[in-house]
Amino acid sequence: MTVEVPLFPGYLFVHIIPLPGNRLPVLRTSGVISFVGIRQQGTAIPDDQIEHLRKLIENRISAGPHTFLRVGQRVRIRGGCLEGLEGLLVANEGDRRLIISVEAIQKSVAFSVKGYEIEPV
């Protein structure tokens, strides 16, 4: 498996048992500054998230970095016929959806944002 451009520039993933004796050789590696996490102790990344990244790479799926979006965050659609539309990002059975609300009447509509580029507001 060959990666031509880093998906997350500036980050190196290591699989180690989190003991001080195991951390030191990593920290002594040229270019490594620290571990990411509370007090720079390192944060374990769930195996399934690493496997998802591996699957993309192994299957040569075209992918690139994207702004981190969290369910519950206000977002805006970029491009297409819905350009500029803003709402609340939610998930429903694995589908990311945008909620648009009319606060005065306390009513909302939800629609799938699949195929749309979205950014945080």
| CA 113/CA 44 separation, integer angstroms | 30
Q: Which residue has the higher pLDDT, 31 or 71?
A: 31
What local confidence, expressed as pLDDT, does residue 48 receive?
83
What local confidence, expressed as pLDDT, does residue 115 receive?
83
For residue range 69-101, what is the model confidence (pLDDT) as tens digits?
A: 788 888 998 988 888 988 888 876 677 888 877
Chain center to CA of 68: 4
The reply to whether 25 and 59 lie within a common domain is yes
The reply to whether 58 and 80 lie within a common domain is no
pTM of the entire structure? 0.58
What local confidence, expressed as pLDDT, does residue 98 receive?
82
Q: Is residue 69 part of a domain?
A: no
Q: Which residues contact 89 (CB under 8 A, 6 or more apart)?
A: 69, 70, 71, 72, 73, 74, 75, 96, 97, 98, 99, 113, 118
CB atoms < 10 A from the CB of 118, how many?
A: 22
What local confidence, expressed as pLDDT, does residue 105 receive?
65
Give residue 110's domain range. 74-120
Number of compact structural domains in the chain = 2
